[in-house]
Structure 1
Amino acid sequence: MQKFDPLADLDPAAYAPFRDPRDYILSWTDQIWIEKGLGRLGEHYADDIKVHTAYGETYDFEHVLTNSVQKMSAFPNGGGGSGEDVVWEQRGPMGFISSHRVLKTGTNLGHWTYGPPTGRNWISRTIAHCVVQDGKVVEEWLVRDEYAVLQSLGIDPEQVAADMVRASPVTGETLAITDDTPAFAGSYPEPAKEGISGKRPDRFQPECDTIVAMYNEVWNRKRFDRVSAYCDSKVVCHTVRMHRAQGIDGYQQQIIDLLAAFPDGRIEVRDLVVCQSDELGMRIAAIWTLHGTYSGVPLYGPTTGKPVKIMGAAHFEMKDGKILREWRLFDEIAVMAQIIGARPAAA
């Protein structure tokens, strides 16, 4: 296994006053959410931060702050969740990319975007894929499992998705996802060399090639029989709605079930981050998009024959060059909103 010092070429000022980028992310999360130092967000985020979600784009710090106040009121015991992992990699002498996977829990004790308090507990995962430059987060790709939240709170996901057709929860405007939407715009033919977060360091090429090849062969070419070439026999995949699949058969079926709804679906890997440590081994984070036509099985209600765009994030743990664990997230509510918006009744 390739050995290297990930901090060797990174200026300590990029993550000061913390020990390393992992400590930077986890400590800031605790200070803001656990200790409720919400006003310190300005120390952590740039004023003109760009946040990309499956619902749209925002380009200012104030939006992050106001949304955070509302969520802290709705879930006063929720905190920032439990940081499961931080997969990070250098981007220049004063920058790094951090892919932070969080397991979130809380009790809905206050009013929120979706209505009055339900008094119910919820659990879900989030992956925040952030570019940190000169000590501040300047750009973020945020992927939440919003369906799991609504399901836990007893709120109808389809109704929420229908409401989002009229107004995006991010921008407040009519939900409109196009090829020009920044989260989906452009193409990155060699994400192992350069992706949405910038140019990668020249290392871990074989590991990156493995992940890209898996998506191309298993997902895009529908060679589900090739899962065993990329995954350990004991592979475990954690995905949306807190579902879990184990073993080659379970891993295959998760992919088949999603693509059955979008039979022509194709995944494009748009960013890769590789992090190796003696304690946690080899981990790889990916941002991907899936473009497909909702023309297969009616997984999300009656099919439309219309295109759908999905923004997803994944974390992989590798063992002997194969995938041992994967955490795969995408926002099903954003998917459902696109589908509902394409139906004649919605128009």
Structure 2
Amino acid sequence: MGRTRTATEDLLARIEQTWLRRDLGQRLLVLSHPEARLASDWGMVSDPGEAELALLPLLQAMPDLSLMTEDLFPADGGVAARFLLSGRHDGEGPMGVPTGQAVWFRAGAAALLTGGRVAAAFVVQDQAALLAQIGIDACDYARHLVGDLPPAGPPDLELALPGGAAGQWGQVWGEIVQSLLTDGPATIDAQYDPACLLDAPGGIRAHGRRDVADHWVQLRAAFPSARLRVLQAIGREDRLMPPRASVLWRLEGRHDGWGAFGEPTGATVHVTGLSQAEFGPDGVRRDVVLYDPLAIWAQIHRHTGLGD
């Protein structure tokens, strides 16, 4: 016999059904609070119609796109969740001629809930993974998206988001994430299982401490003077599951170093990330990090004047 779903799990199940039915505008209206704010590094929308419009390029390119919940982290009055989206690139749209390729990518959200509805959320998508699977370079594609960026950086919803460190695992993971972006290799040697697994933006998968450390070192190297803020940390323990935790964080500063985003340009950049971990007896066993390389490249291109 299956267990009874919580109210949060029921809401996420209804979100999954929203994707399947495709009448997004009306159903987002039902799932969202009347004054809901949905934010990302691309700006903020406060109307279900705007949210539906933002999703149209994806739905045009992948008419059968579906969404599944990979994990969720309830907090007092809110939730952090990670989703897996999959479909086939069968449609015409901004992603070019259909390839027929089966594709997948991840998205995540940290949300405030009111009366079983979404009142505010910060959403992170890894569409760079999708582009890689159909042979499109994320850096080049982002040149077409510069005009979609907000003029003054991403909106900040930290005051609206619940969840200081809920339980010890939220606090532990929050401290590890801060250390990853200041002293990655030493932190990983001390806190990660030798056989750790990293799922990173662009559909990248890394195994073992050295490869996992390389990802974090390259990210930090691109923004060496940027300031890191942890916006939300939530921990969770469940029967038959490893301890898990979720952290929403933001890097704010300049693209002033050689790293994951090439030659330094001095561009002012905001990077919002969602890092979720599973723990074992020897430390972090799995690290799933989401941030949006397209938004980062678009901010760099805006600064250099190389956007379309």
Q: Is this a same-fold pair by TM over 0.5?
A: yes
Deviates more, 1:327-336 or 1:64-73: 64-73
Contact 1:267/1:291 (CA < 8 Å) preserved in 2? yes
- Is the aligned partner of 1:245 residue 2:206? yes
- Which residue type is aligned with residue 209 of structure 2? I
- CA positional deviation for 1:125: 0.9
Aligned to 1:323: 284
Tell me which of 225, 230, 233 is aligned to 2:186: 225
- CA positional deviation for 1:197: 1.2
Tell me which of 178, 181, 184 is aligned to 1:216: 178
* TM-score between both structures, scaled by the size of structure 1: 0.78
SS of equivalent to 2:155: coil
Quote the Cα distance in structure 1 between the aligned partners of 2:160 and 2:36: 15
Aligned to 1:51: 38
- Is the aligned partner of 1:23 residue 2:20? no
- Which residue type is aligned with residue 324 of structure 1? R
- CA positional deviation for 1:163: 1.8
Aligned to 1:129: 110
Deviates more, 1:114-123 or 1:144-153: 114-123
- CA positional deviation for 1:107: 1.4
SS of equivalent to 2:202: helix
Quote the Cα distance in structure 1 between the aligned partners of 2:278 and 2:14: 24
SS of equivalent to 1:277: coil
Contact 1:25/1:100 (CA < 8 Å) preserved in 2? no
Contact 1:21/1:98 (CA < 8 Å) preserved in 2? no
- Is the aligned partner of 1:72 residue 2:64? no
- CA positional deviation for 1:217: 3.0
Aligned to 2:261: 300
Quote the Cα distance in structure 2 between the aligned partners of 1:300 and 1:226: 23
* TM-score between both structures, scaled by the size of structure 2: 0.87
- Which residue type is aligned with residue 285 of structure 1? S
SS of equivalent to 2:66: coil
Deviation track 1:121-152 (CA, whole Å, cap 9, x = no partner) reads 32211112222210111111111112112222
Contact 2:201/2:291 (CA < 8 Å) preserved in 1? yes
- CA positional deviation for 1:35: 4.2
SS of equivalent to 2:277: strand
Uncovered stretches (5+) of structure 1, i.e. residues with no partner: 1-17, 92-96, 169-173, 187-194
Aligned to 1:15: none
> After superposition, where does 1:106-145 map in structure 2 within 5 Å?
106-115=87-96, 117-145=98-126
SS of equivalent to 1:31: helix
Contact 1:219/1:266 (CA < 8 Å) preserved in 2? no
Uncovered stretches (5+) of structure 2, i.e. residues with no partner: none
Contact 1:75/1:108 (CA < 8 Å) preserved in 2? yes
Quote the Cα distance in structure 2 between the aligned partners of 1:305 and 1:72: 35
- CA positional deviation for 1:337: 0.8
SS of equivalent to 1:198: coil
Deviation track 1:187-212 (CA, whole Å, cap 9, x = no partner) reads xxxxxxxx6513548x51x3233223
Deviation track 1:259-295 (CA, whole Å, cap 9, x = no partner) reads 2222223421110122221132321111100124222
Quote the Cα distance in structure 1 between the aligned partners of 2:184 and 2:63: 46
- Which residue type is aligned with residue 182 of structure 1? P
Quote the Cα distance in structure 1 between the aligned partners of 2:193 and 2:227: 24
Aligned to 1:342: 303
Tell me which of 134, 137, 161 is aligned to 1:197: 161
- CA positional deviation for 1:50: 0.7
Deviation track 1:285-321 (CA, whole Å, cap 9, x = no partner) reads 1110012422222643432123321011111112248
Tell me which of 63, 70, 73 is aligned to 1:84: 70
Contact 2:62/2:88 (CA < 8 Å) preserved in 1? yes
Work out which of the two has the higher radius of gyration on C-alpha atoms and give 1 or 2: 1
Contact 1:50/1:140 (CA < 8 Å) preserved in 2? yes
SS of equivalent to 1:182: coil
- Which residue type is aligned with residue 155 of structure 2? P
Quote the Cα distance in structure 2 between the aligned partners of 1:301 and 1:249: 21
Quote the Cα distance in structure 2 between the aligned partners of 1:213 and 1:130: 21
SS of equivalent to 2:90: coil
Quote the Cα distance in structure 1 between the aligned partners of 2:115 and 2:194: 42
- Is the aligned partner of 1:40 residue 2:4? no
Tell me which of 155, 165, 173 is aligned to 2:136: 155
Contact 2:128/2:138 (CA < 8 Å) preserved in 1? yes
- CA positional deviation for 1:47: 2.9
SS of equivalent to 2:247: strand
Deviates more, 1:44-53 or 1:106-115: 106-115
- Which residue type is aligned with residue 35 of structure 2? D
Q: How many residue pairs get matched?
A: 304
With over 3 angstroms needed to count, the CA separation of the structure-2 counterparts of 1:116 and 1:48, relative to structure 1, is: farther
With over 3 angstroms needed to count, the CA separation of the structure-2 counterparts of 1:139 and 1:112, relative to structure 1, is: farther
With over 3 angstroms needed to count, the CA separation of the structure-2 counterparts of 1:320 and 1:116, relative to structure 1, is: same
- CA positional deviation for 1:109: 2.2
- Which residue type is aligned with residue 129 of structure 1? A
- Which residue type is aligned with residue 293 of structure 1? R
Quote the Cα distance in structure 1 between the aligned partners of 2:53 and 2:306: 33
